[in-house]
Amino acid sequence: MWCQKIVCAIIIFSVIFMVDGLKKLTKCFPSTIKRFISSDMANSSAISQGLSSAMERTGQWVFSHDVQLPTDLVINVGDATFPLHKFILMAKSGYIRAKILGSNNSDPTRVDLSQIPGGAQTFEKAIKFCYGVNFQITVYNVAALRCAAGYLEMTEWVCDGNLTKRTEEFLGQVALKTLLGAVTVLKSCEGLGLVAEEIGLVQRCVEVISLKACNEQNFPTCTPTDWWLPELTSLTNSSLQQILLSMKTHGASSKTLFAIITAFAEKSFPEFIHPKNSALPLPDPSPAIRTHQASLLNSITHLLKSTSIPVPISFLCLLLRAAIFLNSSNNSKRELEVQIAACLDQVSVGDLLVIALDCSGQRVVDIDSVRRIIGLFVEKQGGGLYGGGVVGCSATVQQVTKTFDAFVGEIAADEDLGVSKFAGVAGALPESARRFDDDLYRAVDIYLKAHPGLDEIEREKVCSVLNPLRLSYEARLHASQNKRLPLQVVLHALYYDQLKLRSTATFNDNIDPTPPPLSTATTARSRAVADASLMKENEELRSELTRMKLYLSDLEMTKKVGSGIKKSNTFLASVSRTLGRAESVQAKGYPRDTLNIDEGSMGSVARVGVGPGGEAFSIS
């Protein structure tokens, strides 16, 4: 045992003399040095030659005929094998020294360093440094050399002027002095694992890049001013996220941050980003490409969520269209829908069409996303999903409603859009979100015109999203003459106008044409007179309807055969049901005086819809 200690002590004390001897040898054999340098330059210019070339070069300068030193240590790095000298490596590397001195073997000859950052290529350069062979440190290999130096413990504590100090000097004086140099070093760190994070190299690169990018945006040094954007897009999502957060901390503008994300998206899937024409036909990528692009899209979605960078809603709609086309994850789609709903007041009809239409812009393929977005918007405004609560007609709600109704009108012309799909999307907004249903009526009319083959029940279902009593006078006038509408809708429009005209005439008959200024009591009496007159008229109308119903019942009991009688009976029964249901408006507490009904605020008028049992558009 004491023999081993003596041998180790002799080795350590002789290291200094051996290093000096090597220096003298290099002076004596300059041709060997030239061969070392040319070998390294060939390696840096042709990395693709592989590990065998590295091993061959290592053997050349270890087993040189000029320096015949027998090797006593073999180091394995993956599939590569390096025959070396213990005393030389122990003088520079604390890790290898500990491996040799702490080994249970009396004379260890093999050490495995397969986990070294950078692999065999980087370890070869570290060996050259130990043997005093010159090689070039560049922005492309400095990150790997710095990590390898940290792994091998080649620090100043082991030897003055060691590899760690040399790489740190190059980083501080050369590599991290420019934005492009810092980006190159950061890209090298992405393949080095956690070692680059642990030594703080990644964070240093991120800080340099963020500061210099902010400076370039504020004080451009080159043209075009965004010359640095393509460099950042070559980074991974993790690195880009750290840079964006750092730039945000340093006060970068939202415009600058959005420019980085846009450039990254355009590089990831350029066929989906068309600022001027978002309806261009897109190629159908292969499954492998689609999977890769979907992964990049998920990264961008996560990037937007984690950095909270404000982006235009048009860009979000383009991303959602890409997510739908690429069949991205549901989490990414839902996250994009939430972000779109949060700024829906900025949306345009074209943005919604980008989501709903296919890539050619000719066919509706997805309106479920639009329905979910509208539902999220309604929920955010304080109402329940799809009109479960009351939504106030704020300026934001009115703007969204106007845009949405115009969007429904655009997709209504699609011949392949089914009745249920149309009714579902057209009824996504609650009734209280609209002051008038004119725009919705226009969309319904377009749909009926584009689908002339619908039967009566289907047309009634289409019109179930519409309230005829919420139409303006011009729209009701058009509806009364529209042959595409179901009969019940036309009757309701006509009945409303007739009821209002009668109420106006009754009110005028009971008021002096030139009355003096009326007090509050006088006004109340005048309204009471008008209400009494209207009540009397309603009673007479109810009696007349009762007589008509009795007459129709007698006709049904006689069971007379005749198509004319059956047709008349059906029509009269329909009219009787309509007018009879209309009388229930008075009984349910709605105002008798239709003259005072505000056409813009029909909250007190009953909703028109399809009733149970197929009884359509009855007032209830």
DSSP 138-194: -TTTHHHHHHHHHHHT--TTTSTT-HHHHHHHHHHHTGGGSHHHHHHHHHHHTTSTH
* DSSP annotation of 604: T
**Domains contained in the chain, number:** 3
* Residue 374 Cα distances to 75, 96, 303, 481, angstroms: 65, 65, 24, 33
Q: Is the predicted pLDDT of residue 583 greater than 70, yes or no?
A: no
Q: Are residues 277 and 423 in the same domain?
A: yes
Q: Residue 520 corresponds to which tokens in the numbers above? A: 């509050």
Backbone φ, ψ for residue 138 (5° rounding): -125, 175
Residue at 202 is within a domain? no
d(CA 138, CA 122): 12
Q: Is the predicted pLDDT of residue 603 greater than 50, yes or no?
A: no
> Which residues touch 19 (CB under 8 Å, ≥6 apart)?
88, 91, 132
When pLDDT is averaged across residues 381-407 and rounded to a whole number, the result is 72
Q: Domain ends where: 116, 134, 152?
A: 134
**Looking at residue 31, what is its pLDDT?**
41
Q: Residue 461 corresponds to which tokens in the numbers above? A: 């279902």
Q: Are residues 387 and 505 in the same domain?
A: no
**Looking at residue 479, what is its pLDDT?**
84
Residue 405 in contact with residue 363, Cβ under 8 Å? no
**Looking at residue 559, what is its pLDDT?**
53
pLDDT tens per residue, range 158-199? 989 999 999 999 999 999 999 999 999 999 999 898 999 999
Average pLDDT value over all residues in the chain: 75
Q: Are residues 409 and 504 in the same domain?
A: no
Residue 272 binned pLDDT confidence (cut-offs 50, 70, 90): confident
Q: Is the predicted pLDDT of residue 597 greater than 60, yes or no?
A: no
> With 0-12 CB in 10 A as exposed, 13-18 as middle and 19+ as buried, what is 64?
middle
- Specify which of 64-78, 242-256, 531-545 reaches the highest per-range mean pLDDT: 242-256
Residue 260 in contact with residue 240, Cβ under 8 Å? yes
Q: Are residues 506 and 415 in the same domain?
A: no
% of the chain beyond a pLDDT of 90:
36
**Looking at residue 7, what is its pLDDT?**
45
Residue 79 in contact with residue 119, Cβ under 8 Å? no
Residue 63 in contact with residue 28, Cβ under 8 Å? no
Question: Can you say how many angstroms the Cα of residue 205 is from the centroid of all Cα atoms in its chain?
Answer: 28
- List strands edge to edge, sheet with 80-84: 80-84, 73-77, 110-112
**Looking at residue 526, what is its pLDDT?**
62
Task: Supply the CATH number for residue 29's domain.
Answer: 3.30.710
**Looking at residue 499, what is its pLDDT?**
57
| 284 phi-psi bin (left φ>0, alpha ψ -120 to 50, beta other) | beta
Q: Is the predicted pLDDT of residue 201 greater than 50, yes or no?
A: yes
Higher pLDDT, 76 or 542: 76
Q: Are residues 282 and 409 in the same domain?
A: yes
Residue at 481 is within a domain? no
Residue 376 binned pLDDT confidence (cut-offs 50, 70, 90): very high
When pLDDT is averaged across residues 590-598 and rounded to a whole number, the result is 38
Q: Which of 137-146, 305-314, 358-367, 511-520 has the lowest mean pLDDT?
A: 511-520
State the alpha helices, DSSP H only, in 250-367: 254-268, 287-307, 313-325, 330-342, 349-356
**Looking at residue 327, what is its pLDDT?**
87
pLDDT tens per residue, range 39-51? 443 443 443 344 3
Q: Is the predicted pLDDT of residue 564 greater than 60, yes or no?
A: no
**Looking at residue 377, what is its pLDDT?**
92
Q: Residue 122 corresponds to which tokens in the numbers above? A: 């980087």
Q: Is the predicted pLDDT of residue 10 greater than 70, yes or no?
A: no
When pLDDT is averaged across residues 572-578 and rounded to a whole number, the result is 45
Q: Are residues 420 and 503 in the same domain?
A: no
**Chain length of the chain:** 620
Which domain range does residue 318 map to?
A: 269-434
Q: Is the predicted pLDDT of residue 13 greater than 70, yes or no?
A: no
d(CA 620, CA 611): 9
**Looking at residue 447, what is its pLDDT?**
94
**Looking at residue 167, what is its pLDDT?**
96
**Looking at residue 563, what is its pLDDT?**
45
Q: Are residues 430 and 281 in the same domain?
A: yes
Higher pLDDT, 515 or 483: 483
Residue 92 in contact with residue 130, Cβ under 8 Å? yes
When pLDDT is averaged across residues 258-274 and rounded to a whole number, the result is 85
Higher pLDDT, 361 or 329: 329
Higher pLDDT, 474 or 590: 474
d(CA 491, CA 129): 96
Q: Residue 388 corresponds to which tokens in the numbers above? A: 């479960």
Residue 267 binned pLDDT confidence (cut-offs 50, 70, 90): confident
Residue 496 binned pLDDT confidence (cut-offs 50, 70, 90): low
When pLDDT is averaged across residues 288-295 and rounded to a whole number, the result is 86
Q: Are residues 430 and 504 in the same domain?
A: no
Q: Are residues 505 and 380 in the same domain?
A: no
Q: Which of 115-124, 272-281, 529-538 has the lowest mean pLDDT?
A: 272-281
d(CA 340, CA 323): 14
Higher pLDDT, 69 or 315: 315
Q: Domain ends where: 114, 134, 154?
A: 134
When pLDDT is averaged across residues 335-360 and rounded to a whole number, the result is 91
Backbone φ, ψ for residue 454 (5° rounding): -75, 145
Residue 561 binned pLDDT confidence (cut-offs 50, 70, 90): very low
Give the Cα-Cα-Cα angle 76, 79, 81 (nearest 5 degrees): 40
**Looking at residue 402, what is its pLDDT?**
92
- Please indicate, yes or no, whether the overall pTM of this predicted structure exceeds 0.75: no
User: In what helix (H) or strand (E) does residue 80 lie, and over which residues does it extend?
Assistant: strand 80-84
Residue at 307 is within a domain? yes
**Looking at residue 106, what is its pLDDT?**
58
Residue at 168 is within a domain? no
**Looking at residue 517, what is its pLDDT?**
53
Residue at 171 is within a domain? no
Q: Is the predicted pLDDT of residue 474 greater than 70, yes or no?
A: yes
**Looking at residue 525, what is its pLDDT?**
54
d(CA 296, CA 395): 37
Residue at 426 is within a domain? yes
d(CA 232, CA 96): 38
When pLDDT is averaged across residues 26-38 and rounded to a whole number, the result is 39
Residue 483 binned pLDDT confidence (cut-offs 50, 70, 90): confident
**Looking at residue 485, what is its pLDDT?**
87
Residue 537 binned pLDDT confidence (cut-offs 50, 70, 90): low
Q: Are residues 504 and 430 in the same domain?
A: no
Q: Domain ends where: 94, 115, 134?
A: 134
**Looking at residue 16, what is its pLDDT?**
41
Nearest Cα neighbor of 577 from 531, 613, 537 is: 613
**Looking at residue 520, what is its pLDDT?**
53
Residue at 356 is within a domain? yes
Q: Which of 258-272, 416-430, 601-615 has the lowest mean pLDDT?
A: 601-615
Q: Are residues 303 and 403 in the same domain?
A: yes
Q: Are residues 275 and 389 in the same domain?
A: yes
**Looking at residue 523, what is its pLDDT?**
58
Q: Is the predicted pLDDT of residue 396 greater than 60, yes or no?
A: yes
Residue at 520 is within a domain? no
Residue 19 binned pLDDT confidence (cut-offs 50, 70, 90): very low
Q: Is the predicted pLDDT of residue 507 greater than 60, yes or no?
A: no
* DSSP annotation of 64: -
Higher pLDDT, 274 or 154: 154
Higher pLDDT, 47 or 580: 580
**Looking at residue 448, what is its pLDDT?**
93
